[in-house]
Chains A and B, each alone.
Chain A
Amino acid sequence: MTDSTLTGTAPRQPLALRFPAILIFMACLALFTVGVTILSEGFGIGVISTSFVKTLGKTLCLCLVALAMDLVWGYCGILSLGHMAFFGLGGYAIGMWLMYERTRLIVVESMSAQALPPTPEQISDGIASQIFGVVGASEFPPIWAVAHSLPLQLAAVVLVPGLLALVFGWFAFRSRVTGVYLSILTQAMTLALALYLFQNDSGLRGNNGLSGLQNLPGLGNVPQSVVSVWFLWASALALALGFWLATWVVSGKFGSVLRGIRDDEARVRFLGYPVEAYKLFVFTLSAVIAGIAGALYYPQAGIINPAELAPIASIYLAVWVAIGGRGRLYGAVIGAAFVSLLSTWFTGGQAPDIVLGSWRIQWVDWWTVLLGVSFVAVTLFAPKGIGGLFDLLADCLTPNRHGADLGPDQGALREQEADK
Chain B
Amino acid sequence: MSQLLEVSGVSVSFDGFKALNNLSFSIANKELRAVIGPNGAGKTTFMDVVTGKTKPDEGRVLWGEPPISLLGKSESTIAMAGVGRKFQRPTVFEDQTVFENLMMALRKPRSPFAVLFFKPSAEDRDRVADLAGTIGLAQALQRKSGELSHGQKQWLEIGMLLAQEPQLLLVDEPAAGMTTAEREKTTDLLREAARTRAVVVVEHDMEFVRRLGCKVTVLHEGSVLAEGSIDHVTKNENVIEVYLGR
| A residues whose Cβ falls under 8 Å from a Cβ of B | 1, 5-10, 12, 249, 252-254, 256-257, 259-260, 263-264, 266-267, 269-275, 277-278, 281, 402-403
Contacts and interface: CB of A to CB of B under 8 A. Distances in A.
Contacts of B100: 256
B62 interface: no
A278 B119 CA distance: 18
Contacts of A249: 116
A270 B129 contact: no
5 closest pairs, A vs B, by CB? A8-B125, A272-B79, A403-B143, A269-B75, A272-B80
Given A6-B138, A253-B115, A403-B142, A273 B76 contact: yes
A277 B114 CA distance: 12
Contact of A269 (B79, B84, B112, B147): B79
Contact of A254 (B91, B115, B125, B139): B115
Interface in B112-145: 112, 115-116, 118-120, 122, 124-126, 128-129, 138-144
A8 B118 contact: no
Interface size class of B (residues with CB under 8 A): 35 or more
B111 A274 contact: yes
B93 interface: yes
B76 A269 contact: yes
B116 A270 contact: no
A5 B75 CA distance: 33
B40 to A, nearest CB: 22
A254 B138 contact: no
A157 to B, nearest CB: 23
A271 B79 contact: yes
Interface in B53-100: 53, 74-76, 79-80, 84-85, 87, 91, 93-96, 99-100
A274 B110 contact: yes
B167 interface: no
Contacts of B75: 266, 269-270
Contact of B76 (A5, A260, A272): A272
Contacts of A278: 112
A402 B146 CA distance: 10
Interface secondary structure of B, over-half rule: helix
Contact of B91 (A7, A12, A264): A264
Interface secondary structure of A, over-half rule: helix
20 contacts: A8-B125, A8-B128, A9-B122, A12-B119, A253-B104, A254-B115, A256-B100, A260-B104, A263-B95, A267-B87, A269-B79, A271-B76, A271-B79, A272-B79, A272-B80, A272-B164, A273-B110, A274-B74, A274-B76, A277-B112
Given A12-B119, A249-B116, A254-B112, A271 B142 contact: no
A259 B96 contact: yes
Nearest to B104: A256
A263 B100 CA distance: 14
B107 to A, nearest CB: 8
B103 interface: yes
Given A7-B129, A8-B126, A260-B96, 18 more contacts: A1-B142, A6-B141, A252-B119, A253-B118, A254-B112, A254-B116, A256-B100, A259-B93, A259-B96, A263-B95, A266-B53, A270-B75, A270-B79, A270-B84, A270-B85, A271-B164, A275-B76, A403-B147
A12 B124 CA distance: 13
Contacts of A12: 119-120
A224 B105 CA distance: 55
Contacts of A270: 51, 75-76, 79, 84-85
B219 interface: no
A39 B142 CA distance: 47
A5 B142 contact: yes
A281 B116 CA distance: 11
Contacts of B119: 12, 252
Contacts of B111: 274, 277
Scoring B87, B115, B142 by chain A CB atoms within 10 A of each residue's CB, the highest score goes to B115
Nearest to B148: A403
Interface in B178-226: none
A278 B113 CA distance: 9
Contacts of B110: 272-274
B111 to A, nearest CB: 7
A123 to B, nearest CB: 46
Nearest to B129: A8
A267 B91 contact: yes
B27 interface: no
A77 to B, nearest CB: 11
B103 A256 contact: yes
Contacts of B125: 7-10
Contact of B94 (A10, A257, A263, A274): A263
A263 B126 contact: no
A269 B53 CA distance: 10
B74 to A, nearest CB: 7
A5 B142 CA distance: 8
A259 B95 contact: yes
Contacts of B76: 269-275
B168 interface: no
Scoring A252, A253, A263, A403 by chain B CB atoms within 10 A of each residue's CB, the highest score goes to A253
Given A256-B104, A269-B76, A273-B76, A403 B144 contact: yes
Contact of B141 (A5, A9, A281): A5
B116 A263 contact: no
B160 interface: yes
Contacts of A259: 93, 95-96
A260 B95 CA distance: 9
A204 to B, nearest CB: 33
Interface in B39-53: 51, 53
